[in-house]
Chain A
């Protein structure tokens, strides 16, 4: 079975400081992993995805994530937070088992303090 656990429901950082949003996954097969961002009352936008290529994945807006199989983790980081980064972030897993579904974490709300 596939699932993701986002370890923090809310993260608060000061503008200009690093961002760390944590995600652990569980998968019976080799997973593909995604991070999506959602601004209030908007749809979701893909930040980055891991599909068994390089373990360090770079995404849009300066975000990156590292796939660590030994730790079953896919944490999202950014060196310096910007006010526009304030949003909800979802970690998502899909297993390469022939199904066509995604499994969403419960989300982490990022607040950026000026």
Chain B
């Protein structure tokens, strides 16, 4: 059963703590993405990676970090430098190439709440 998994579904963190969100895919996709979703707004791109060991900043990368050591995995760390981290985080993947042609497949999301 192919797809993208994100864990955990709900995550609570205290202010000042770093937290890592997991994203795994078994679709054999080269490209992976992290988005942030806030109420009433569309998705905003945090980071993306088109190939293992390489990643690029998106529109709102400040306060976040990623790694891409394996093709299947693209974890996102929300650091204490992120001013307003409470949001719904979505991971996606696609085949390599132009986004115009390659559909992005989304995971079920992680809802992060900072207490």
CB-based contact B50/A100 at 8 Å? yes
CB within 8 Å: A-B pair count:
68
B44-76 CB mask vs A (1 if < 8 Å, else 0) is 110010100000001000000000000000000
CB-based contact B40/A43 at 8 Å? no
Number of residues of chain A lying within 8 A (CB) of chain B: 27
Instruction: For B6, give the chain A residue with the smallest CB separation.
Output: A43
A107 to B37, CA, bound (A): 11
**Interface bracket on B:** 20 to 34
CB-based contact A100/B48 at 8 Å? yes
Chain B residues with a Cβ under 8 A of chain A: 4, 6, 31, 40-45, 48, 50, 58, 88, 90, 92, 97-101, 103-109, 111
Which 10 pairs from chain A and chain B are nearest by CB? Answer: A104-B42, A43-B106, A32-B100, A44-B106, A94-B100, A94-B99, A104-B43, A43-B108, A100-B99, A106-B42
Chain A residues with a Cβ under 8 A of chain B: 9, 31-32, 34, 36, 41-46, 49, 51, 90, 94-96, 98-107
